Structures are given as structure tokens and as C-alpha cells.
Amino acid sequence: MPESFTGRGDPVGEGGLTASELLALDRRHVWHPYGPMPGREEPLLVESAAGVRLRLAEPVEGRRELVDGMSSWWSAIHGYNHPVLNAAATEQLGRMSHVMFGGLTHEPAVRLSRRLVDITPEGLEHVFLADSGSVSVEVALKMCLQYQRSRGRPRRQRLLTWRGGYHGDTWNPMSVCDPDGGMHGLWAGVLPRQVFADAPPSGFDAAVDPVYAAHLRELVARHADELAAVIVEPVVQGAGGMRFHSPAYLRVLREACDEHDVLLVLDEIATGFGRTGALFACGHAGIAPDVLCLGKALTGGYLTMAATLCTSRVAEGISRGEVPVLAHGPTFMGNPLAAAVADASLGLLLGQDWAAEVARVESGLRAGLEPVRALPGVRDVRVLGAVGVVQLDGPVDTAAAGRAAVREGVWLRPFRDTVYTMPPYVTGDEDVARICAGVRAAVAASVEATAATGTAAR
């Protein structure tokens, strides 16, 4: 426990609990992402957030305010406590925060769906509003299997993906996550067995590797009889390791899918809404998927909502089948509050020169992170859009790295062998520079800590 949190401090909020009491209760009762119970790491207690800053209940490492380098898992693209999003939420709250979506509909869901159809690639006409990214992937996969079944190909039940991916934590998404280095290796043998291509060669600008392209084509052809769909993250593989690849491989997959009547699902939950410099990452490749998953930044980081879009071919295929309905309907499907905020968030994004803002953040990240390449222990530095990644030679000492970033006044959450940032698009130039200083400090601290404990090579 950091010293600043032990046994003192004024009550936080109206519950009358001090910061140290809250943290003790948290440790005893509250499960955190990807953690054990009781928790091992010490979370930071956040009191409020505004703009690009998180305000802590008490200082940690001498800092009460942290510049947010994570956008709350890549979702808060406009920053926190934004007046336009607050107004949308408050206004909708005055009408209704939720009604069921079976047999009822409402303006926020209709407006949002029409906007999503308008801004996504040509051909995606229909929208299923889900309540999280993982669920939107489940829905996408169910759509694909059901489409194939409806067309009289019930054997087409498997999926093809490439290694290094991440598609969520529920069952079927886990089956297409990276099977080796990923978080779900424990379940190999229990999960549905999918077809894995090698991970795409690294580098957004790298020349196309014809051997790899042939590998993709061959694998789709060989398994075509049993494949319902190919699912990949376009251009940036996020939680599987923050790797970038050439958009050309997406064109290869599109062609191979068309040739063998396999559906192409693109998971843009992380890359959508401008993050990579294109409004959707498939725009870099000039292709459109049959099914598209969106989430994370959809509501500007305010509420949980995701969307699965599909073409009329997919929808009609399903609707002509033996069971002509999509049997899926989350209780909070189409939640009006989330939909209203999502529509306002998209209005904010599209109402400005978002591409210029992302390009501005990109050049700040390039300037600030390129020098990190020279530090010992650094394998690679890469930047695309508002994504900046420093890859180390081995696993990051996440505790040491995180603490060093906090000391610089920056919130980062390194994982695996990367220290990375995906800041809000509204992050000013000085704050982008500060985030880069935080990344540099985190990298240096991790390398020092692993050298000290002799774990660097493991």
C-alpha cells in the first residue's frame, strides 16, 4: 500500500469512508479486471475526472492529478465530464433512462443506428445494439454461423483468424483470441477449436510479404468447407500485443473470403472512430466487411454499448432460414441513455476536423516516443494515429512502470511487453508531451527493475 494511503485522510464523498477504508474494502470485496480475489495490486482511488485529467482522492507518489494516457481502455476520446455529453445524458435521463427493446423502440436508438449506417463502409445496413464489445462479437459470430446454416451449409461452423488477436472475454470471442501469449491460454481444449493463421507481419508501412499473403489464401481455401467466417482486427491488434500490420492483408482476406463464400467480420471495437487516423481502420485498406463490430469509443467512454452491423445479404440469409430470427436480445439492448450519449459523441467527433486532431496527437507521440528507441531494453517504437507503443525486449515490470508514470503525473497501464498510450483526441500538445515523458519514465523504471531482479530474459 502506498504510504499516502495508510491510516489517515479525510472522508471521501458522502459515505463518510476515508480513502484507506475504501481501499481496504475494495481489496476485501471487489473483483478487478484480470485479477485474483483478494486483489494483489493496489488500485488508485479516483475521485473525479475532467478533460484529460483523473483526480485522485489522495496524492500518490506526490501526484493528485494524472494526465490520462489510456482514455479508459481507449474509449474516452473526448475526455471526461464533457459538457455536450453531460447534456445529452441529462436530457435523456429526464425522459427515460431505459425501456425494453422488445416490441418498443425510441428515438436515441433509431438516430444512432442511422448514423452508424451512414458513417460505416458501404453495404452495412443493419444494426444490432449490444451491451458490450464481447457481446457484439458473440452476436457477429452467431450471425455468421446462422447465415451459413440458413444457406444449407450447416457444416460451416468454424472461424479463421490470425494469431496475436483479441476479441473479448466471453466464450466464443475467447476462442479467436491469440491462443499462445494471450490471456485465455488456460482454456485451450475447452474452447471451440478455430483455424489460426500465423500473426500478420509487423509494420503498417511494411511491404507486402507475398509468402504470408499466400499463406492466408491457402488457409482459407483449405478450410473453406468448414469456415463460417474470418474474423480479425484490422490494422492494429490491440490487447493481443499492440501490433500493427499492412492494410494489404485485409484486401487479401477480402478476396479470399469472396472467392469461397466465407463471411468477413472486422472487429473495430478498438480501432473504430478515428483512433488509427482513418474513421474506421478498414478505410486504410479500402474494403468493407460483411459484419462489423464497434464498441469502446462508441459512447465517448460514458456508458457501456456496442454495435454489430451487417449487410443485407447476411440479414436476408438469416431471415430466409429454418429459424428465421436472430435469437439474441440482451435485457439492456438499445439502452436509450447510452444511445443518446453515443449519438452526441459521434456528433462531437464528426462536427470537428477529427482527422487533424488525431494527426496532431500522432505527431506529438512520434516526437515524444521516437527518442525512447535509444533506451536499453527497447525493441521497437511504433505510432499510428493516436496510438503510441513502446515494445520492450521482455515482459514489463508493470508495478515499477506504472509507479514511474504516476511520478511523472501520467496514468498508464502497461501490459505484456509493452508500455503504450491511447490518449483522448482532445489531449493538448503539452499533455501529449507529458504522456510521452511518462512512457519514457515507465520504460526506464521497468528496465531497471527487471535488470535488478534478473528477470529480464524470462
Ligand X SMILES: *Cc1c(COP(=O)(O)O)cnc(C)c1O
User: Catalytic residue numbers?
Assistant: 34, 166, 267, 296
- Angle subtended at Cα 23 by Cα 32 and Cα 62, rounded to the nearest 5 degrees: 105
31 marked as binding residue: no
**Binding segment toward ligand X, per CB under 6 A, in 104-112, 233-241, 308-316, 375-383:** 233-241
Least gap, CB of 132 to ligand X (angstroms): 4
- Tell me whether residue 345 or residue 450 sits nearer to ligand X (CB atom): 345
Whether the CB-CB separation of 53 and 66 falls below 8 Å is answered with yes
The answer to the question of residue 233 lying near ligand X (CB under 6 A) is yes
Q: Residue 392 is inside which H or E element, if any?
A: strand 387-392
Least gap, CB of 186 to ligand X (angstroms): 18
**414 Cβ partners below 8 Å, 6+ apart?**
396, 398, 401, 402, 420, 442, 446
Least gap, CB of 107 to ligand X (angstroms): 25
Least gap, CB of 196 to ligand X (angstroms): 16
The answer to the question of residue 348 lying near ligand X (CB under 6 A) is no
Q: Are strands 17-18 and 306-311 parallel, antiparallel or unpaired?
A: unpaired
331 marked as binding residue: yes
- Tell me whether residue 246 or residue 299 sits nearer to ligand X (CB atom): 299
Task: Find the binding residues for ligand X in span 121-140 (CB under 6 A).
Answer: 132-134, 137
Candidate residues 270, 341, 372, 384; the one interacting with ligand X per rule CB under 6 A: 270
248-260 and 210-223 helices cross at what angle (nearest 10)? Answer: 20
90 marked as binding residue: no
Task: Find the binding residues for ligand X in span 136-195 (CB under 6 A).
Answer: 137, 166-168
Candidate residues 241, 247, 277, 295; the one interacting with ligand X per rule CB under 6 A: 295
166 marked as binding residue: yes
Question: In Å, what is the CA distance from 64 to each residue of 57, 331, 408?
Answer: 7, 39, 11
**363 Cβ partners below 8 Å, 6+ apart?**
none
DSSP letter string over 221-269?
Answer: HHHGGGEEEEEE-SSEE-TTT-EE--THHHHHHHHHHHHHT-EEEEE-T
Residue with smallest beta-carbon separation from ligand X: 133
- Tell me whether residue 269 or residue 349 sits nearer to ligand X (CB atom): 269
Least gap, CB of 299 to ligand X (angstroms): 11
- Looking at residue 87, the DSSP 8-state letter turns out to be H
133 marked as binding residue: yes
Which phi and psi angles does 449 have, rounded to 5°?
Answer: -65, -40
Length reported for the chain: 458
134 marked as binding residue: yes
393 marked as binding residue: no
Distance separating alpha carbons of residues 123 and 127, to the nearest angstrom? 12
- Cell triple for 249: 492483408
Distance separating alpha carbons of residues 341 and 207, to the nearest angstrom? 41
- Tell me whether residue 20 or residue 120 sits nearer to ligand X (CB atom): 120
**Binding segment toward ligand X, per CB under 6 A, in 5-13, 20-28, 232-240, 330-338:** 232-240
Task: Find the binding residues for ligand X in span 192-211 (CB under 6 A).
Answer: none
Distance separating alpha carbons of residues 78 and 358, to the nearest angstrom? 11
336-350 and 107-119 helices cross at what angle (nearest 10)? Answer: 40
Candidate residues 267, 290, 357, 431; the one interacting with ligand X per rule CB under 6 A: 267
296 marked as binding residue: yes
- How many residues interact with ligand X (rule CB under 6 A)? 16
Least gap, CB of 134 to ligand X (angstroms): 3
- Tell me whether residue 296 or residue 403 sits nearer to ligand X (CB atom): 296
Distance separating alpha carbons of residues 68 and 46, to the nearest angstrom? 12
- Tell me whether residue 295 or residue 301 sits nearer to ligand X (CB atom): 295
Least gap, CB of 202 to ligand X (angstroms): 18
Whether the CB-CB separation of 276 and 235 falls below 8 Å is answered with yes
Binding site feature residues:
73, 133-134, 166, 267, 296, 329-331, 413
| Site residues (vs ligand X, CB under 6 A) | 132-134, 137, 166-168, 233, 238-239, 267, 269-270, 295-296, 306
